[in-house]
Amino acid sequence: MFSPLVVPLAALLLPTLAAAQPCPPAPLQRASLPATRVTVAHGAPLTIVAFGSSSTEGAAASGSEATYPAQLEARLRAALPGLPLVVLNRGKGGQEVPEMLARLEADVLAEHPTMVIWQAGANAVLQGMPAEEFRAALAGGVARIQAAGADVLLMDSQRAPRILQSPGFERLDAAIDGLAEATSAELFSRAALMRAWEAAGTPSAEMISPDGLHHNDRGYACVAAALARTILAAAGPVPAPAQVAKR
C-alpha cells in the first residue's frame, strides 16, 4: 500500500526557469493510449520509457532533472498522487533508428513498459538518411513494441535552426506522421507544438539552446508539460487517491 497524501519530492523540483517563464498556450494533442488508460484506471504501476537520442537524453539541459523525461515524471506524479509510476530515460545522443533498434530489447522491452515515447528523426535529417529507409526501420520497431503490449507515442523533430536548414526534414516528419496514421501508434508533434508557441508569441529561439539544435530548460519543461496533458487526457478519469491506495 502506498500513501496518497505524499507528493513525491520530484514533483516539487521543477526548474525555476519554467516557473519564471510559463509555457505558452498550445492546443491539446489528443492520442489514444489504451494500455495506459487501463493501467491508470486500475491503479496499476505505470512504466513509461522515453526512447530516443539526444533530445531525450537531455543534451543542453542544465541537469538531469531538467530533461523532458524527468520533467514529465514530475508532472505525472503531481497529477496522479498515489499511483506508482516511473518515466525511464533511455535516450542516447547521436543515435538514429538503426542504432536504437539494436538496444530496443535491453533498454525498452526488458522494462515491460506500458507506454513508449519514441523520439526520432533529428539525426536522420542531419545524416541525410532516406525517408523510406527511416520509415521502414521505425515501423519494424513500432511493431515489436506493440507486440509487447505497450502504447507507442512517436515524437517528431524540434523546430530548431539546424533542423530547418537541413534538406529533407519535411520528408522525415511526413514519414513519422504517415506511420502513425498507418498503424495504431500515435503522434506527439513537437513541430506542431512549436508552431503553436510561435503563434502565441513565443519564438522557437526562446525554447532552443545556443547550439541551435537542442531545447533549453524551458523548452524541455514545456515539451513535458504538453506531453503530460496528452497522456492525462488519454488516461481518462483518474481514480481518487483513496481508491488507488486500496488496490
Q: Is the pTM of this model over 0.85?
A: yes
Tell me the C-alpha to C-alpha distance, in Å, between residue 224 and each of 4, 6, 66, 108, 112.
Answer: 23, 22, 10, 20, 22
- Domain span at residue 103 reads 9-13+40-236
| Per-residue confidence (pLDDT) for residue 179, from 0 to 100 | 95
Residue 16 has pLDDT above 60, yes or no: no
Domain assignment present for residue 33? The answer is no
pLDDT tens for each residue of 167-183 = 888 898 999 999 999 99
Domain assignment present for residue 63? The answer is yes
Residue 111 has pLDDT above 60, yes or no: yes
- What does the alpha-carbon distance between residue 6 and residue 89 come to, in Å, rounded to a whole number? 24
Domain assignment present for residue 44? The answer is yes
- What does the alpha-carbon distance between residue 9 and residue 212 come to, in Å, rounded to a whole number? 32
Which of residues 166 and 153 earns the better pLDDT score? 153
Q: How many domains does the chain have?
A: 1
Mean of the per-residue pLDDT values of the chain: 89
Domain assignment present for residue 74? The answer is yes
| Per-residue confidence (pLDDT) for residue 237, from 0 to 100 | 78
| Per-residue confidence (pLDDT) for residue 241, from 0 to 100 | 58
Residue 243 has pLDDT above 70, yes or no: no
- What does the alpha-carbon distance between residue 27 and residue 40 come to, in Å, rounded to a whole number? 23
Domain assignment present for residue 32? The answer is no
Domain assignment present for residue 19? The answer is no
CATH of the domain at 190: 3.40.50.1110
pLDDT tens for each residue of 115-124 = 999 999 989 9
Residue 11 has pLDDT above 60, yes or no: no
